[in-house]
């Protein structure tokens, strides 16, 4: 039963943080298109890992500094909207899976599939 509650809270946090990140005025955070890909909250609701994917990222270190700086604002706004007993501390993690998938897709699209295998080289 608790896992259902945590999963609902994770979805709510993901939705709220996605909308709040658009309102952050720090130029370090507004480097590109930021997507919240996943949220993992501990069972005691003390910590939330927020996985972010950024398209057009210029400086990873500056983005993380900006997010750490804005985490107080984000946590306060999250607490006001969620109304939980504890507002989790936010831990931001860069998720590079979308970037990795785009790179694989590019490699696959650039493969030369026009050459056919030779008929005489059967291994049967």
pLDDT tens profile 78-92: 999 988 888 899 999
**What's this model's pTM, rounded to 2 decimal places?**
0.76
2-105 is classed CATH 3.40.50.300: no
Residue 102 φ then ψ, to 5°: -65, -40
- DSSP assigned state of 35: E
Work out the pLDDT band at 1, boundaries 50, 70, 90.
Answer: very low
d(CA 109, CA 93): 29
Distance of CA 94 to the CA centre of its chain: 6
CA dihedral (51, 70, 63, 40) in degrees, to 10, reads: -10
pLDDT in tens, 7-65: 999 999 999 999 998 888 888 888 778 889 999 999 888 999 999 988 777 788 888 89
d(CA 17, CA 37): 11
């Amino acid at each position: 039963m608790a896992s259902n509650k945590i999963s609902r809270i994770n979805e709510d946090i993901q939705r709220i943080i996605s909308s709040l990140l658009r309102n952050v005025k720090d130029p370090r955070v507004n480097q590109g298109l930021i997507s919240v890909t996943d949220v993992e909250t501990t069972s005691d609701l003390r910590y939330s890992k927020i996985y972010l994917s950024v398209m057009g990222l210029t400086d990873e270190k500056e983005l993380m500094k900006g997010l750490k700086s804005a985490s107080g604002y984000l946590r306060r706004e999250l607490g006001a909207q969620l109304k939980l007993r504890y507002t989790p501390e936010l831990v931001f993690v860069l998720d590079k899976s979308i970037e990795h998938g785009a790179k694989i897709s590019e490699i696959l699209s650039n493969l030369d599939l026009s050459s056919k295998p030779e008929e005489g080289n059967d291994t049967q």
